[in-house]
Amino acid sequence: MPSPYLPNTDADRRAMLREIGVSSIEELFQDIPEKLRHARFKLPPPLSELELKKELHQLASRNASLDNYACFLGGGSYRHFIPSTVEHVTGRSEFYTAYTPYQAEVSQGTLQTVYEYQSLVCQLTGMEVSNAGMYDGSTAAGEAAIMACIIKKKNKVAVSTTVNPTYREVINTYVTGRNLSIETVELNSSLSSDCACLIVQQPNFFGYLEEMEAYVQKAHDIGALFIAIVDPISLGMFKPPEDYRADIAVADGQALGNPTSFGGPGLGAFACRKEYLRQMPGRIVGKTVDVEGKPGYVMTLVTREQYIRRERATSNICTSEALMALAAAVYLATLGKRGLRQVAELCYHKAHYAAEKVAKLKGYSLVFQKPFFKEFVIRCPIAPSQINQALFKEGIIGGLDISYIIDNSMLLCVTEMNTKQEIDKLVEILGAF
Amino acid sequence: MSHYYLLPNISQPGKIGCSLPTLDVSPAKLPPKELLRRELKLPEVSEVELMRYFTALSKLNYGVDTGFYPLGSCTMKYNPKWHEDIAKLAGFASIHPHQPEESVQGALQLMFELQEYLAEITGMNATSLVPIAGAHGELTGLLMVKAYHQHRGGKARKKILLTDSSHGTNPASAVMCGFEIGVVASDSEGNVDMKSLESVMNEEVAALTLTMPTTLGLFDPQIVEISQLVHERGGLLGADGANLNAFLGRVKFGELGYDYVQLNLHKTFSTPHGGGGPGSGPVCAKENLTDFLPSPLVTKNNGKYKFVSPAKSIGRIANFYGNFGVMVKAYAYIRSLGAEGLKEVSENAVLNANYLKERLKPYYYLPYDRTCMHEVVFSGKRQKVKGVHTLDIAKRLLDYGLHPPTVYFPLIVDEALMTEPNETESKQTLDAYIEAMKEIAREAEENPEILHSAPHNTPVRRLDDVRAARNPDLRWEMRS
C-alpha cells in the first residue's frame, strides 16, 4: 500500500537513484557503521486512519472530559469560555503549518499577529514591552528570576511562600540550575539585601489578593526588581501590575483562549519595563518599513537570542508557543474591553456566591478572610479526597486537594463556565458530609 | 491591504466579537476600590470584522500547506490533518491537569505508551515527555548531566563540549545550567576532528553534546570512537536529536553510544510547528541517567497508570506534564506508521536530500561532497564572487513562490544554504525547486541586480532590520 505521507512512487525513486548514481537506497546509508544501521524496533503494527481514529476515540472516551463534568479545579490551569473565532483563526493552516518567521516577507501574518499579541499583553498588564511568549507561566517566572539576577548582578532570588507550589519548584530548577540561590519570603518577613528580585503571585495560589504595594516597597527598598505572576483573566477587573509598580509581569496565557488540554500547551506571557528590554528573553517582533516605505514587521533585537549570540544569549529559548499566543490575541480581541471585564466579573460573583454558600455549611469554613477573585480555600470536615470521590459520582470534579499544605483543605475555582445549578449541586453534596 | 491597519484601527466603542451569558447568581459586594482596575483599554471589534482581519493576515503567511518549505534543521514535513482532529477531541483537549488519575487513564495510557515508543525508537531506557520544546529538552538533558556528576562526587566537571557546527541553543542551554563551553573543531570532511576532541576532552568535561547527523547533514562514521573516548574520560554523550529524521527506524542513538537524546516531536514526528510552537522536546535516557529525569513520569502498575517522580529527579521543569496536545499527534503518527513506516520516512528523506544534492551540485558550491543524510548544505560562495549573497538567493526564491532553506547556518560554512527537503515532498516538487535554483544561479551570472532587489512580488519587500532594532516599535497603544 502506498503511504499518504510519502508521495514518491517506485518509479520516482528509481529515477532519483539513477540520478544520484547508486543502485539502492541502502547505499546512501553507507557512512553509518554496518553493525549500527540495522537496528530492530518493537513497535505496534501500523494502522489505517479509520482504525486508529476509532482506537483514539476510545482512548479519549476513557478520560472524564470537562464537557461532561462540572469542574471546580484551578490551581494553574483554568477552564474559561473559548469563543469559536479563536479556533477558526488558529485552525488556518497558513498559521499553524508555518514556523518561526525567519523569512519576514512571507511571514507577515505571523509577525503582525505577534505584534498584536505583544500590544494586547502590554495593554492588559500595563507594562511597557512584551515578548512573543514563552513555554508557560512557571518557566516565564524562572526566566524572569534569571533576568533579574543578570540585571542586578546578584545571585539570589526571593519567592513568596504563597506562590503556586509547582511554580516554586520550576523557579527552583531554573535558578539553582544556573548556580543561583533562592529564599522564601512572607509578607511580614524581611528580605535579604543580596536578593536580585522578589516574586509574588496575584491573586496568590490560595486565591486571595496580596498587598502588592507592601511587597513592591520591600523589593524596591533593597534595590531589587519586583516580579508579579498574574492571572490574566483577573486583569479584566483587578489592578494591573504596572499600577503597583511591578518591574516584570509574567502570566500563564492558557486561560486566554486555550483549552486545559491536560496542562499543555500553555503559554508564558512575559512583559517588563522598557529599560530592561535588551535583557528580556524570547522573541520580539518590531514594526519597520520595507524598501518601498510600506509598513511591515520583523523579528527584532535578535542579538539577545541564542541563534545569533549563542552562549551570551539572554535565554536558550527557540521554539515556544506561538500558536497559543495567536489564540490569546484572538481571544482578547474577540472579548475586547467589555467582554474581558464581563468574564472577570462573572467569575468573581459566581465564586463569591459559591464561597458564601459553602461557608454557611456546618463543618466548613473559608480558610482566608481576604478579598479573592475566582479561587478560595475551604476547610472541610473530612478529607477532601473523600468528598471529591462523592462529587465525582455525581458528575462533579471537585476542588484541588491541598491537605498537604493546610489540613483538610480544598482549593475551589469557579469561573463563568460554572452555572448556578452546578454550584448549588456542589454545595448540596458538600453539605451531606 | 490588511497590513496597513491594526486592531485599534478597526476598533469602535460598543462592539464585541462574541456574546456572553448574564449573571445567574446575585452579585457579591465588590472588593475595596484600591484593588480594582481603573480602566481597561482593549480594542472593541465585531466578529465579522475580526474574522476578516485575521483571515487577511493568514494570507500573508507561507506554511507547509502553502508549499515546499526546505528550512534546514527544522524538518518542515507535512502534518496529517486527522491528527489535528484527534487532538481536539474533548476527551483529550478538555481535561484538567489536576483531575484525579483514575479519571484520565486514557491520557496517561497514551503518555505511557508514547514514552515507551520513544525509548524504543532511540534505544534508551526511559523517556520524559515534559520538556516543552527542543531547547527546553536540551536544558533538561544538561541538568541531568549536572545532577549525575554531582551525585557521583569527585572533582566538579564544569564544562560542556560542543562542535563548531552546533545549534545556537546548545551553548545557550549549557550556560543556563551553569556550565562553561568548550568547542571541538570539525575536520575537512565535516566530521569531528579527533585530535581536537582528544585535546579538549579532559576531567573538567561533563558531557559532549553532538548532533547526529551533524548540522552539516552528515553522519560521522567515527561515532563509536567518539563515544569511547568521551566515556573513558568520565564524560557523558548527549544528542541534540533535531536531525533524527535522517535515520528514523534504522539507527538507535543508544546503540551509537549516547547516554541521552532530546527529541523534537514537532520536527521528526510530524506535529505542526505552529508559527514557532507549540513544540515538544522529550528527553530519552539510558539507565545511568533515568533516575535524574524531570518529574513526573507515567508508570503502569497492575493495569493502572499513574504519575511518579524519579528517585533523584532534577525536579520540575514545567508547571504540568508537557505539551499533551502535541503528544497526541506524535502518538498518532507513530501508530499509523509502525517500525517499517518509520524506516521508509528516513529512506525517502535521505533519498530526497541526495537527489537535490546531485542535481544542484553543478550550480552551487558543495563544501562537503559526499553522501549526505536528510539535508544538504550548499554554499553561495560561487555566486558571492559575482557580488550575490546567500541572502539574495533566499529572497529571490520567494519570488518563485518557494520558501528558502536555512541561511548562514551552520556557521562553519561560508554563505550556507542548509536545505532539508523531507520525505513528504515528491520528485515533482523537488524538480520545481531545482529548476528555480538553476534559474537563480543563471540570474546571478547575468542579472545580479534582480537578486539584490528581491523579493519583488511578496506582500512586503525587504524590510529594514536596522531601523527596527534602533528605534524599537514593539506595540501599539490605545487611548480609552
For B137-173, the pLDDT digits (tens) are 999 999 999 999 999 998 889 999 999 999 999 999 9
User: Contacts of residue A212 in chain B, CB cutoff 8 Å?
Assistant: none
The pLDDT, as a whole number, for residue B478 is 86
Q: Point out the residue among A97, A132, A333 whose CB comes nearest to the CB of B43.
A: A333
Nearest CA in chain B to A102: B406
Inform me whether the pLDDT recorded for A341 exceeds 90: yes
Q: What is the pLDDT of residues A162-220, one digit of tens each?
A: 999 999 999 999 999 999 999 999 988 999 999 999 999 999 999 999 999 999 999 99
Q: What is the pLDDT of residues B253-303, one digit of tens each?
A: 999 999 999 999 999 999 999 999 999 999 999 999 999 999 999 999 999
Contact status of B48 with chain A (Cβ, < 8 Å):
no
Nearest to B264 by CA among B396, B373, B131: B131
User: What number is the average pLDDT over the span B70-88?
Assistant: 96
User: What number is the average pLDDT over the span B23-27?
Assistant: 96
The region of weakest confidence among A80-84, A309-313, A366-370, B393-397 is A309-313
Q: Is B12 exposed, middle or buried (0-12, 13-18, 19+ CB in 10 A)?
A: exposed
Where are the CATH 3.40.640.10 domain residues in chain A?
Answer: 86-329
Query: Options 3.90.1150.10, 3.40.50.300, 3.40.50.720, 3.40.50.2300; which CATH number does B343-465 get?
Result: 3.90.1150.10
The string of DSSP codes covering B230-253 is: HHHTT-EEEEEGGGGGGTTTT--H
Give per-residue burial for A372-405: e unless 16+ CB within 10 Å, then b: bbbbbbbbbeeebeebbeebbeeebbbbbbbeee
pTM: predicted TM-score of the whole model, two decimal places: 0.98
Range 282-311 of A in CB contact (< 8 A) with B: 283-292, 294-298, 300-303, 305-311
CA dist B302 and A240 (Å) reads 49
Q: Point out the residue among A6, A57, A346 whose CB comes nearest to the CB of B344.
A: A6
Cell of B20: 456572553
User: What number is the average pLDDT over the span B165-192?
Assistant: 95
The pLDDT, as a whole number, for residue B3 is 57
Inform me whether the pLDDT recorded for A233 exceeds 60: yes
Confidence of residue B480 (pLDDT cuts 50, 70, 90): low
Inform me whether the pLDDT recorded for B4 exceeds 80: no
Angle at A298 between CA A296 and CA A302, to 5 degrees: 160
User: Contacts of residue A12 in chain B, CB cutoff 8 Å?
Assistant: 426-427
User: What number is the average pLDDT over the span A323-337?
Assistant: 98
Where are the CATH 3.90.1150.10 domain residues in chain B?
Answer: 343-465
Query: Options 3.40.50.2300, 3.40.640.10, 3.40.1480.10, 3.90.1300.10; which CATH number does A86-329 get?
Result: 3.40.640.10
Contact in structure between B96 and A260 (CB atoms under 8 Å): yes
Inform me whether the pLDDT recorded for A1 exceeds 80: no
The pLDDT, as a whole number, for residue A378 is 98
A139 with B318: Cβ contact below 8 A: yes
A323 with B423: Cβ contact below 8 A: no
Classify domain A70-81+336-431 by CATH architecture. Answer: Alpha-Beta Complex (3.90)
Nearest CA in chain B to A303: B469
CA dist B221 and B396 (Å) reads 36
CA dist A16 and A409 (Å) reads 67
Q: What is the pLDDT of residues B199-208, one digit of tens each?
A: 999 999 999 9
Q: Is the ipTM of this complex over 0.95?
A: yes
Contact status of B144 with chain A (Cβ, < 8 Å):
no
Contact status of B99 with chain A (Cβ, < 8 Å):
yes
Where are the CATH 3.40.640.10 domain residues in chain B?
Answer: 82-337
Contact in structure between B423 and B349 (CB atoms under 8 Å): yes
Nearest to B399 by CA among B360, B451, B347: B451
User: Contacts of residue A11 in chain B, CB cutoff 8 Å?
Assistant: none
Mean pLDDT of the residues in chain A: 97
Inform me whether the pLDDT recorded for B180 exceeds 80: yes
Domain B82-337 fold? Aspartate Aminotransferase; domain 2 (3.40.640)
Inform me whether the pLDDT recorded for B2 exceeds 70: no
Where are the CATH 3.90.1150.10 domain residues in chain A?
Answer: 70-81+336-431
The pLDDT, as a whole number, for residue A67 is 96
The pLDDT, as a whole number, for residue A2 is 77
The pLDDT, as a whole number, for residue B346 is 98
B325 with A169: Cβ contact below 8 A: no
The pLDDT, as a whole number, for residue A309 is 87
